[in-house]
């Protein structure tokens, strides 16, 4: 294309019309709970917060503050120290003791000037103190600061959770990875020994998987792995774990499972995978699996070796079978 074939705007000709920008919905307003037994103070504080765009809920005593916080999970609690039923310190302890409310920042509203009272509240986990009567500018500044700190802490927790999940998850299949499976093997072995109950293990291998890659390429091979992984995960029941052991191998851990129970689970896996289909350039295709099972009390390393030997036996017997 030359310059004179490129459309230009202006000059009386047709102009390129830019699409209208998409208007995204505004984020929800932060919710602030104002807990104070004085109706006048609640009204003044709530009005000041609402004028700055905050969503406000109220509580008239300590017990109501606890219940409303648990029900509404506000982003911030402004809490009077001297309240009927439960004082502010008792409310703070109750909020910190419950997982759902333990991270909600609490800012005390108080007419006290005793340094010891302030120190006690901070020791119990309060974020800050505001003295009554509250100056509007200081109120908004302190509330904004507490909410910014909470947002940063929430983002840090989310990222840490994502990192923890990534560290134990196989990126291709979404199942547990080898590293986390090693940790689970040790944990399940310890449980087996403590309670003197059997641990069942199943090692699964996709039959002739190299043929899939050689015939349709690695992208199709990856799709095949994902379908098999999802199918295997769908056969697991409560307490049973499965992950990608490596390559086209998978490992299932079955607490309290005898060798017969492990064999039944493996057979369930085999039938499910045989029935599943994955997409190739030539249409839908199927693969089969072979599985080796072992069970016993403790001795996870020996169980894995036994299951691996059973898997080789299944392969030697013609594949698509359980040993």
C-alpha dist (Å) from residue 86 to 74, 93, 131: 19, 11, 20
Is the Cβ–Cβ distance between 185 and 197 less than 8 Å? Answer: no
47, 183, 240, 248: the catalytic one is 248
- Going by C-alpha positions, the residue among 29, 71, 74 that lies closest to residue 54 is 29
The backbone torsions φ and ψ at residue 167, rounded to the nearest 5 degrees and listed phi first, read -70, -20
The HSE-up count of residue 291 (CA atoms within 13 Å, CB side) is 27
Annotation says 248 is catalytic: yes
> What span, in angstroms and rounded, lies between the C-alpha atoms of 296 and 72?
49
246: left (phi over 0), alpha (psi -120 to 50) or beta: left
The backbone torsions φ and ψ at residue 140, rounded to the nearest 5 degrees and listed phi first, read -65, -40
Is the Cβ–Cβ distance between 88 and 96 less than 8 Å? Answer: no
> What span, in angstroms and rounded, lies between the C-alpha atoms of 272 and 291?
13
Q: Please identify every residue annotated as catalytic.
A: 248
């Amino acid at each position: 294309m030359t310059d004179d074939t490129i459309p230009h705007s202006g000059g009386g000709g047709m102009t390129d019309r830019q699409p209208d920008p998409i208007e995204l919905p505004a984020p929800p307003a932060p919710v602030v709970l104002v807990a104070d037994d004085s109706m006048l103070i609640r009204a003044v504080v709530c009005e000041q917060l609402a004028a700055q765009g905050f969503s406000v809920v109220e509580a008239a005593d300590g017990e109501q503050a606890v219940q409303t916080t648990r029900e509404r999970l506000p982003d911030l609690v402004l809490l009077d120290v001297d309240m009927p039923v439960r004082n502010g310190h008792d409310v703070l302890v109750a909020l910190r003791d419950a997982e759902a409310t333990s991270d909600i920042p609490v800012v005390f509203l108080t007419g006290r000037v005793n340094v010891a009272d302030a120190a006690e509240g901070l020791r119990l986990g309060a974020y800050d103190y505001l003295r009554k009567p509250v100056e509007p500018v200081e109120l908004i500044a302190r509330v904004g600061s507490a909410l910014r700190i909470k947002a940063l802490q929430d983002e840090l927790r989310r990222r840490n959770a994502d990192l923890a999940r990534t560290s134990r998850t196989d990126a291709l299949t979404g199942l547990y990875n080898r590293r986390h499976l090693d940790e689970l093997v040790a944990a399940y072995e310890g449980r087996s020994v403590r309670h003197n109950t059997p641990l069942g293990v199943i090692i699964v291998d996709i039959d002739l998987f190299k043929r899939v890659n050689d015939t349709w390429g690695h992208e199709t091979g990856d799709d095949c792995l994902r379908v098999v992984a999802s199918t295997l995960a769908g056969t697991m029941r409560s307490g049973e774990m499965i992950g990608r052991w490596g390559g086209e191998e998978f490992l299932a851990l079955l607490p309290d499972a005898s060798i017969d129970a492990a064999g039944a689970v493996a057979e369930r896996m085999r039938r499910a995978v045989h029935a599943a289909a994955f997409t190739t350039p030539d249409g839908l295709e199927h693969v089969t699996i072979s599985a080796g099972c072992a069970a016993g009390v403790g001795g996870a390393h020996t169980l894995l070796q036994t299951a691996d030997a059973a898997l080789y036996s299944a392969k030697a017997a013609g594949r698509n079978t359980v040993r």
